[in-house]
Amino acid sequence: MRATLPRRPPQKPSGDLFRALPYMTRPLIRIDELERTIDGVVQSYDGGEEINNLESAALPNKRAVIDAFNHLKPVIFMGFYATRSLSRSNLRHSVSEHLYPAYEILVEQIARAVTYEERIGRVDIARAEGWNEEVVLGLFEALPDLRRALNTDVLAAYDGDPAAKSIEEIVFSYPAIEAITAHRLANVLYRAQVPMIPRIISEYAHGKTGIDIHAGATIGDRFFVDHGTGVVIGETSVIGNNVKIYQGVTLGALSTRRGDRPMDGVARRHPTLEDDVTIYSGATILGGETVIGRGAVIGGNQWITESVAPGARIFGKSRGEV
């Protein structure tokens, strides 16, 4: 027979439990003032400021675009993101699970972006009915080539970083792969002249990685950004194959004045890096006419505004050197 312990009589709650504490919610007593501040904010929308636009229903949905990107990323690296066992026999089903929602989202969001541009009169090209679906299909048709290019980027990271223990580690954890994946997808949409959507994708990756690659930049195979924080690559930059850059590198413009758009055939604002170039941390390279020749190496913290010959080595003086 099991022994039972005597039951304690219920304890009366202490009055301290019900004492109001200074951080507890109290009745609001300044509602009239709150209402006046709300009126002031609402009235501020009656001015002529550009940010007073209320056509938000017509704009693309940023979260939806990011959701589409996060469907496309597993399609590129399916074996790394799958939540079930994968084989060649169920691969098509797994790919479809991501491409169908990505297709629906992007078709709608591109349509919203184009409709908005037309509504406010900011249209520079004629787009036929169904153009948005054509663009998304073009992006999906490019996925096999994008996968091949991204594979070269992963290999460049593995070959270029002695700290890398495996390909898997690079795909899962290297910010450079996140950034270049977003860029290669966004660049296809940029070249199709899709408004707004490419920048949403590239800035999402920028926020996650600290690597700022404009969707318009042209980047070759085997591109590796080591560490990556603070890297800036401008819209009209051209980067060749097998290029490696380190944290804090800027490929920028000499002038920040607004002019014609780069795809209108005007001169580029940002530099060109030819094949096999290495740029060490903190270097700043500026100007659309600046070309860093094949195989050149630019040392850390260098300021470059003129072209550099192929194979050149540009380093600053060491401490104590005269």
Task: Let me know the angle formed at the C-alpha of 233 by 312 and 65, rounded to the nearest 5 degrees.
Answer: 155
pLDDT confidence of residue 5: 57
pLDDT confidence of residue 318: 43
> For residues 225 and 233, what is the distance between their CA atoms, to the nearest angstrom?
11
User: What average pLDDT does range 12-37 have in this prediction?
Assistant: 71
> For residues 242 and 240, what is the distance between their CA atoms, to the nearest angstrom?
7
The 244-246 sheet, strands edge to edge: 224-226, 244-246, 278-279, 297-298, 313-314
User: What average pLDDT does range 133-146 have in this prediction?
Assistant: 96
pLDDT confidence of residue 180: 98
> For residues 68 and 57, what is the distance between their CA atoms, to the nearest angstrom?
19
Q: Where in the chain is the domain with CATH 1.10.3130.10?
A: 56-211
> For residues 4 and 27, what is the distance between their CA atoms, to the nearest angstrom?
49
Residues 192, 135: contact at Cβ < 8 Å? yes
pLDDT confidence of residue 51: 82
What is the CATH T-level fold of the domain 230-322, as seen in this structure? UDP N-Acetylglucosamine Acyltransferase; domain 1 (2.160.10)
> For residues 168 and 154, what is the distance between their CA atoms, to the nearest angstrom?
9
pLDDT confidence of residue 264: 46
Torsion of CA 104, 132, 187, 58, to 10 degrees: -80
pLDDT confidence of residue 319: 41
Nearest in space to 289 (alpha carbons), one of 269, 303, 310, 311: 269
Q: Across the chain, what does the average pLDDT equal?
A: 88
Cα–Cα distances (Å) from 31 to 38, 41, 117, in that order, read 11, 15, 40
pLDDT at 1 over 80: no
pLDDT confidence of residue 86: 83
Residue 235: both structure tokens together: 């819209």
Beta bridge partners, 219, equal 239
Provide the pLDDT confidence category of residue 320 given band limits of 50, 70 and 90: very low
Query: Could you tell me which residues come within 8 angstroms of residue 298 by beta carbon, excluding any fewer than 6 positions away?
Result: 277, 278, 279, 280, 283, 285, 292, 304, 308, 314
12 against 158, higher pLDDT:
158
Residue type, 60: P
Q: Where in the chain is the domain with CATH 2.160.10.10?
A: 230-322
Task: Let me know the angle formed at the C-alpha of 272 by 269 and 275, rounded to the nearest 5 degrees.
Answer: 165
Q: What percent of the chain has pLDDT over 70?
A: 86
pLDDT confidence of residue 121: 76
Provide the pLDDT confidence category of residue 10 given band limits of 50, 70 and 90: low
Nearest in space to 155 (alpha carbons), one of 167, 147, 139: 167
pLDDT at 228 over 60: yes
CATH code of the domain made up of 56-211: 1.10.3130.10
> For residues 293 and 267, what is the distance between their CA atoms, to the nearest angstrom?
19
pLDDT at 63 over 90: yes
Beta bridge partners, 292, equal 273, 308
Q: 3-state DSSP call for residue 29?
A: coil
Nearest in space to 182 (alpha carbons), one of 66, 273, 283: 66
User: What average pLDDT does range 134-149 have in this prediction?
Assistant: 96
Helix, strand, coil percent values for the chain (each to nearest 5): 45, 10, 45
pLDDT confidence of residue 128: 84
pLDDT at 152 over 60: yes
User: What average pLDDT does range 27-32 have in this prediction?
Assistant: 86
User: What average pLDDT does range 130-139 have in this prediction?
Assistant: 95
> For residues 210 and 232, what is the distance between their CA atoms, to the nearest angstrom?
9
